[in-house]
Chains A and B, each alone.
Chain A
């Protein structure tokens, strides 16, 4: 719901409850509540709702914080690479290996928390804050799926392309598990901690 609509809906909700507590029957209370929106205010309100609704909410509350989280995650990975901190590799059958970027995963909660906080400052709701913090994982899943689709397309149209489904699928699945799945858990953990800290502070105030 656009912010201004949610704010006004809250006001109307409180108004309605106050009328009920005064002893008014529900239909009269509803009528009196809805009388508060009339005339010029109604027209102005509709325009404001349209303005807010047109992608501003998604851009400000999910996309931008999500992209910032992604940028932070990439910068973290790059910094670890510069410091020669390599992912651990678990070797599997058929020459495949599962990369486990332990150091990167340990730092990801901070990125997730940052994304959730930025989304919250833009007025994001809980699902929007979570979506913003999990954005990097979503991008990773999208990229890996794209690799699979691209490989499929190449294997269809290019003879002897070298694309080996028996190797590609397990490899992508391994990357999905470690770089997308595990990262989503770590990012979500950071967002959860940020949410808990915010609630604790709000209660303390």
Chain B
């Protein structure tokens, strides 16, 4: 499996995290695990990149974090998308869609 460049990963990280949090309330480990599973391992977050991103999104008020006690009795800081974050998601998705369409017309790549 070929690796995806670091810059491409960085740019898409925000979109991936916001999209996931739009559907679920998740803590950091779950976010990383789901993204890795759903992308077949192409997008993989380590702690050094995930938590700074989450805290950055929190500072922008796009996500909100709250401590919750999970059914297994452990305390985890769970993130959810805020209304402001939800407003950001649609234009972000549109930008990436336009980007991929543009790339597709130049390279001739077809969707999988």
Contacts and interface: CB of A to CB of B under 8 A. Distances in A.
Contact of A11 (B47, B67, B68, B69): B47
B29 A15 contact: yes
Interface stretch (B72-80, B82-90, B93-101): B72-80
B69 A10 contact: no
Contacts of B74: 10, 13
Contacts of A13: 74
Chain B binding surface SS class: mixed
A11 B28 contact: yes
Contacts of B51: 4, 7-8, 11
Chain A binding surface SS class: helix
Contacts of B67: 120, 123
Interface size class of B (residues with CB under 8 A): 10 to 19
Contacts of B33: 18
Interface string A141-183: 0000000000000000000000000000000000000000000
Nearest to B55: A4
B47 A3 contact: no
A125 B75 CA distance: 10
A36 B47 CA distance: 7
Contacts of A14: 29-30
Interface of A: 3-4, 6-8, 10-15, 18, 36-37, 40-41, 120, 123, 125, 199, 202, 205
